Amino acid sequence: MSYSDSGNAWRNDGAAQPHAYDPYLHPELFRGVATRRVFAFLIDMVVISVPVILGYIFIALFGVVTLGIGWALFWLAWPASVVWAIVYYGACIGGPSSATIGMRIMDLELRTWYGAPGYFVLGATHAVLFWVTVSFLSPFVVLVGLFNGRRRLLHDFVLGTVVVNNSVRAPVAQTARTW
């Protein structure tokens, strides 16, 4: 049995491990996920934008008070905004709810394909890969989610993640123990 024949994924011992979230057995986990992801994204953009805007206002006022010397800090504003967004996604997805603030409001949760919760590096990579794919393949990234049962976007396929409706709980296979 090969990877493509089974519809499952490989484990470390060479056997196939089934996907934790099957859209045919539990379609309620994926009902409304695409629409909820759009609204979660918009909420997250507001959450990320507010501190960035406040930072720009502070630098502008600081520049006025220091007679223009403080405006030299504007060169730090864009890199700091990028770092803030990556830390926000990493910390939120790596947190106990495996979801950003927008995702929590919309009852969504990011999981790996085998059911494990997210972690910091996965969340940060998810954000970076999302922005890269949207920059180069914008319509394709969104269209991919409309044509698969798990409503996964392009970067979800690459990272092996799935976003599920958190308001519905389905039995999930136990993840492997680390001890």
Task: Say whether pLDDT at 179 is over 60.
Answer: no
Asked whether 23 and 30 are in contact (CB, 8 A), the reply is yes
Mean pLDDT estimate for the chain? 85
- What is the reported pLDDT for 95? 94
Residue 66 inside a domain? The answer is yes
Task: Name the residue type at position 161.
Answer: T
Does 100 reside within a domain? yes
Comparing 46-55, 134-143, 151-160, the range with the smallest average pLDDT is 134-143
Whether residue 66 has pLDDT greater than 70 = yes
In a domain, residue 11? The reply is no
Q: What is the end-to-end Cα distance of the chain in Å, rounded?
A: 29
Residue in the block written with tokens 């089934």 = 18
Parent domain of 52: 26-165
In a domain, 40, yes or no: yes
What single string gives the DSSP state of each residue in the chain? --HHHHTSEE-TTSSEE--S--TTT-GGGTTTHHHHHHHHHHHHHHHHHHHHHHHHHHHHHHHHHTTTGGGGGHHHHHHHHHHHHHHHHHHHHTSTT-S-HHHHHTTEEEEETTSPBP-HHHHHHHHHHHHHHHHHHHHHHHHHHHTSTT---HHHHHHTEEEEETTS----PPPPP--
Q: Is residue 39 part of a domain?
A: yes
Confidence label for 172 from pLDDT (cuts 50, 70 and 90)? low
Q: Reduced to 3 states, what is the DSSP secondary structure of residue 18? A: coil
Q: How high is the pLDDT of residue 2?
A: 40
In a domain, 174, yes or no: no
When mean pLDDT is compared across 30-34, 55-59, 126-130, 171-175, the lowest value belongs to 171-175
pLDDT for 137 beyond 90? no
In a domain, 170, yes or no: no
Q: Which of 1-10, 78-87, 128-137, 166-175 has the highest mean pLDDT?
A: 78-87
> Which of 55 and 16 is assigned the larger pLDDT?
55
Asked whether residue 47 is domain-assigned, the answer is: yes
pLDDT class of 6 with cuts at 50, 70, 90: very low
Q: What angle do CA 114, 160, 168 make, to 5 degrees?
A: 55
pLDDT at residue 114 in the model: 86
Model pLDDT, residue 103: 96
pLDDT of 12 above 60? no
- Rg of the chain over Cα atoms, rounded to whole angstroms, equals 20
Number of domains in the chain: 1
Give the residue among 45, 53, 47, 50 at the shortest CA–CA distance from 130: 45
Q: Looking at residue 136, what is its pLDDT?
A: 87
